[in-house]
Amino acid sequence: MVSKGFKREVLSIVGRENLWENPEDVLCYSYDATPLPPCNPDLVVRPTEEEQVARIVLLCAREGIPLVPRGAGTNLSGGVVPVEGGVVLLTTGLNRILEVNREDLYVVAQAGVVTAKLAAAVERVGLFYPPDPASMSVSTIGGNIMENAGGLRGLKYGVTKDYVMGVTFYDANGERVVGGARTVKCVTGYNLSGLMVASEGTLGVLTQAVLKIIPPPGARKSMMVVYQDIMKASEAVSAIIAAHVLPVTLEVLDSFTIGAVVEATGVDLPTDAGALLLIEVDGHPGQVEDEYGEVATICERLGGKVKVAQTEAERDEVWLARRKALSSLARLKPTLILEDVTVPRSQIPAMMAKIEEIRGRYGLLIGTFGHAGDGNLHPTFLTDSRDRGEMERVEEAIKELFQGALDLGGTLSGEHGIGVAKLPFLVKEVGEGTIRFMKRLKEGVDPRGIFNPQKLVAAYERDLERD
Ligand SMILES: Cc1cc2nc3c(=O)[nH]c(=O)nc-3n(C[C@H](O)[C@H](O)[C@H](O)COP(=O)(O)OP(=O)(O)OC[C@H]3O[C@@H](n4cnc5c(N)ncnc54)[C@H](O)[C@@H]3O)c2cc1C
C-alpha cells in the first residue's frame, strides 16, 4: 500500500488528470494480454513530461515502492501485471515524435509513441521503419524496445534491436541516462541501448529512443502458396532459407488457423488446404522478379500451388489473413495461450512435427501460425481456464513444447519475452550461471528492486527451487 503522503507528492507532480487510484479506475491496469491472474496497482500515473518521470522514480526509490512501466499493455508474458501492487507508470503521455531526420536517416521518438504512428510519420517523408509487430496499431516504441518486438518483416529486415541507435532512460536514482547516439557508429562506453533492449522494464524507465530508418524498397511481390500437407509447407520454408533467398516475409498458417480466419473475417482462403505459406519478396524490380522465381520454383517442387497477388487489394487481403490469425483464433474458446517457440530454420519441419504430435497425444485444440522464415512459430492453445483437467494437460503440453524447442537448438521465446509467464523455464535454456549474472546486473542498477518486481530474473531463486 502506498501512503497518503506518497499519493499527495505524486499528485503534485502529474496533476489530478493524470492520476488514478480508485479500484474501478485502476482495474484495467491489473492485467495485460497474457492469461494470468490480475493484480491491482495502488496508483496509476501518466507523466506527460520526461522530468516528471525522474521525480516519480525518485519517490518510488525513496519509499521502496514497486514501479511498473506500461505502454499499451499488449505484451504476452505478464510483463505489466503489477504483481506486488505499487505504481503503474503509463508512458502513453510521452507520445511525441521529436525529430524525423531525412538526411541522417534516424527518428527520435518518445517511448509512448504508437509504433504504427511512427511508421506512418517516417513513410510520409519517403522513408521506412521496418519493425512491424502485428500489434503495431496500438503497441508503443517503449514496449517494442523492452520486448525486442519482431514482426512480419523480421526475416529480411531484422527486429526492433536492429533499429535502436540510442536510448534515454531514468535509472533507480532518478538520474537521466543516455546511451548511443545519432550516429551510425558509437562506442563510447557500455552498449546501454543493447542493455535496455529486451530488459522488460526491469532496469529503468525509457523515455526516448533514436531509431534507424532506411530507404523503402522499390518493388514488392506477395504470394500465397497452398499446401495439402503442413509438413511439405515446413520443408519449403527450410528449403527457401537453405537456397539463400531471403523474402521480406515468410509466414505459415495451419489448416485450423485458416478455418478460424475464414470464419471470422470472410477472407477468401482455401479452407481445404493443409497449410498456407504467405510470402513477400521486395527490393529492386529485377531482384524481386529473380527472387520470386526462385521461391516459386522451390515451393512448387514441394507440391505447393503458388497464387500471386495481382493487385494491391489482393495483397492487402493476403496480409489481412495473417494479421487476423490471432484474433480469429481468440473467438473460439474463452482462454487463449499463445506461445512463441523458435528454432533454427532447418528445424522447422521437426518442430512442426513435434507440435502435431503433442496436439494428438494431449487431445488439445492448437492452431499454429507464425513467422516460419524466422523459425518462430506461434502454437496457440485454445482452452478454458475454468476446466482444471484440461488446463493441467495444457500446462504439461507447453512444458513438452518448450523442451522440444530446446532439444532442437531453439529458444523459449522469439519475441514475447519472459515476464512472469516463462520464468520457471528460463533456467533450462540459459543455465544457472547466466541467470545469476543477470540477477547481479539487476541488483547492481536497481538495488531496492523497484522496477517491475518479480519479472524476468528477479524471482529466479524461487523458481530454481521449484524446478
Ligand atoms: C494481437 C497481438 C499481436 C502481437 N504481435 C506481436 C508480433 O508480431 N511481434 C511481437 O514481437 N510481439 C507481438 N505482440 C506482443 C506485444 O505487442 C509486443 O511485445 C509489444 O512490443 C508490447 O508493446 P506495448 O507497448 O504493449 O508494451 P507493454 O505490454 O505495455 O510492456 C511490455 C514490457 O515493456 C515494459 N515497458 C513498456 N514501456 C516501457 C518504458 N517506456 N520503459 C521501460 N519499460 C517499459 C513493460 O514494463 C513490460 O515489461 C502481440 C501482442 C498482441 C496482443
Give the atom of ligand 1 at the shortest distance from the alpha carbon of 33.
Answer: 53
Give the atom of ligand 1 at the shortest distance from the alpha carbon of 140.
Answer: 25
pLDDT at 467 over 70: no
Give the atom of ligand 1 at the shortest distance from the alpha carbon of 145.
Answer: 21
pLDDT at 317: 86
Instruction: Name the closest-CA residue to atom 31, ligand 1.
Output: 143
Give the atom of ligand 1 at the shortest distance from the alpha carbon of 327.
Answer: 1
Question: How many angstroms separate the alpha carbon of residue 418 from the centre of ligand 1?
Answer: 12
The three grid cell numbers given for residue 261, joined into one nine-digit string: 480466419
Average pLDDT (365-384) is 95
- pLDDT, tens digit, 9 for 90 and up, residues 294-350: 999 999 999 999 999 999 998 988 888 898 999 999 999 999 999 999 999 999 999
Average pLDDT (204-209) is 98
Average pLDDT (237-254) is 95
Question: How many angstroms separate the alpha carbon of residue 111 from the centre of ligand 1?
Answer: 12
pTM confidence score: 0.95
Q: How far apart are CA 188 and CA 184, in angstroms?
A: 13
Residues framing ligand 1 (Cβ under 6 A):
32-33, 68-76, 79-80, 91, 111, 133-135, 139-140, 142-144, 146-147, 149-151, 200-201, 205-206, 326, 415-416, 452
Q: For the chain, what percent of residues have pLDDT higher than 70?
A: 98
Give the atom of ligand 1 at the shortest distance from the alpha carbon of 141.
Answer: 25
pLDDT at 237 over 80: yes
pLDDT at 137 over 80: yes
Instruction: Name the closest-CA residue to atom 39, ligand 1.
Output: 142
Question: How many angstroms separate the alpha carbon of residue 147 from the centre of ligand 1?
Answer: 6
Question: How many angstroms separate the alpha carbon of residue 73 from the centre of ligand 1?
Answer: 6
Average pLDDT (369-377) is 94
Average pLDDT, whole number, for the chain? 95
Q: How far apart are CA 154 and CA 428, in angstroms?
A: 26
Q: Are 408 and 448 in contact (CB under 8 A)?
A: no
- pLDDT, tens digit, 9 for 90 and up, residues 36-81: 899 999 999 999 999 999 999 999 999 999 999 999 999 999 999 9
- pLDDT, tens digit, 9 for 90 and up, residues 414-435: 999 999 989 888 999 999 999 9
Average pLDDT (114-121) is 98
pLDDT at 35: 87
Residue 463: band (very low, low, confident or very high) from pLDDT cuts 50, 70, 90: very low
pLDDT at 461: 67
Instruction: Name the closest-CA residue to atom 5, ligand 1.
Output: 134
